[in-house]
Amino acid sequence: MSPAIIITDSRYVIDGLTKNLKNWEERGWINIANKELFKATAYHLRNRLAPTAFRWVKGHNRIKGNEEADRLAGLGATKDTYDQINTTIPQNFDLQGAKLSKISQALAYKGILASPNPEYKRRTLGLLDMTRHAVHEVSNELETDRTIWLNRKHKDLSKKFQTFTYKALNNAYKVGDFWSQIATLEHRALCPTCKEDVESIEHILTECNNVTVKTIWQLANSLWPEEIAPWPNISIGLILGCGSLKIPHNPDELDPEDNKKAESKRGASRLLRIIISESAYLIWVLRCERVIQEIPQDEEKIKRRWMNAIDKRLQLDRVTASKIKRNKKTYNLVHSTWSKVTAPNKPKNWITSLEVLVGITLHRPPQTEAT
């Protein structure tokens, strides 16, 4: 058997089969893209009796072999029926698990999420489906179960809200039907406001007739600049999947302002995630204060709490842009997120000048029911 040279324009493939292979194997291939192909390739390379070398070439540079490989790949991608590639390897080569010296809590968590057949309870499966379709209505993207779980930890969402959505998706809160199965406590299953409806996370956040739910979602709608996109229909799926929300952007060819439009949509998507997550979590907090601690609430108090929650996120962004991540990218993101919901007469340096008082401004007065 003679030596072989593999020529490719993919540094990822070369590094994966040389520099990174040992580390990937020791960490149990957790969170490695195309791991089955890498495993099979590594097995066949190690089975060769002659040495194998790799050579990188620049792609799309009129190199005959590379251009022909691209052509064949293009033909393969357009096939109605894909070729079945045999990636099976001997069981004694396919080592399972990761070395204890390489494992960490974060890596173990990723491994659990990457499990091919996670066993979800029926309620969790229903919530995942509702989340998937609610996000699709806004973002025109159909999320998988995995991306829903991953985006639940989106950096725009507070840690408290991330924990809340994790428990909500796993039906871990003691509300509604949880009490129906406990003798003498069945009455706790009913909503204390609506009296006849069984309480659930969905009911608490979107359906309850309590003044908290109506006031907060009306305030959220009033803050949202509708010239960007219509205010979405708030549902439990949209709340649990708000980390996946994106305002669709369809770039126009030859439009010199396209980059600005894309940046504006990124900021708007971020604002939408913040408004929905902060509003939903505040509804939950106020419900617990009202039901468990029996703290009285009125519309003015609810409004102040909501305004403070959103304003806190605004001020946190200003501090981040002026003191922590002082770069153009962060500045532009903060500007595109908040510029349309703050006072129009604010100074140009309102982001970095913390001594300047800047707060949110409602676009429209909250709707009130006719008496």
Greater confidence, 352 or 257? 352
pLDDT on residue 118:
61
> For residues 7 and 70, is the Cβ–Cβ distance under 8 A?
no
The model's pTM? 0.70
pLDDT on residue 371:
38
Report residue 28's pLDDT band, with 50, 70 and 90 as the boundaries: confident
What is the mean predicted confidence (pLDDT) over 330-344? 92
User: Is the torsion defined by CA of 255, 257, 259, 265 positive or negative?
Assistant: negative
pLDDT in tens, 116-175: 656 678 889 999 999 999 999 999 988 998 899 999 999 999 999 999 999 999 989 988
Report the b/e string of 135-163 with b at 16+ CB within 10 A.
beebbeeebebebbbebbebebbbeebbe
Instruction: List the beta bridge partners of residue 6.
Output: 54
CA distance 314 to 343: 13
- pLDDT of 35 > 50? The answer is yes
For 335, the token pair is 């500007």
DSSP per position, 8-67: ES-HHHHHHHTTSHHHHHHTTTTT-TTHHHHHHHHHHHHH-SS-EEEEE--TTS--HHHH
Average pLDDT of every residue of the chain: 87
Percentage of the chain lying above the pLDDT 70 cut:
93
pLDDT on residue 254:
41
Fold classification of 4-105 (topology level): Nucleotidyltransferase; domain 5 (3.30.420)
In the block, tokens 């002082």 appear at 326
pLDDT on residue 234:
96
pLDDT on residue 257:
54
pLDDT on residue 262:
75
pLDDT in tens, 215-268: 999 999 999 998 889 999 999 999 999 999 998 866 554 454 566 777 788 999
Could you tell me which of 134, 328, 345 has the C-alpha nearest to residue 243? Answer: 134
- CATH 3.30.420.10-classified regions of the chain: 4-105
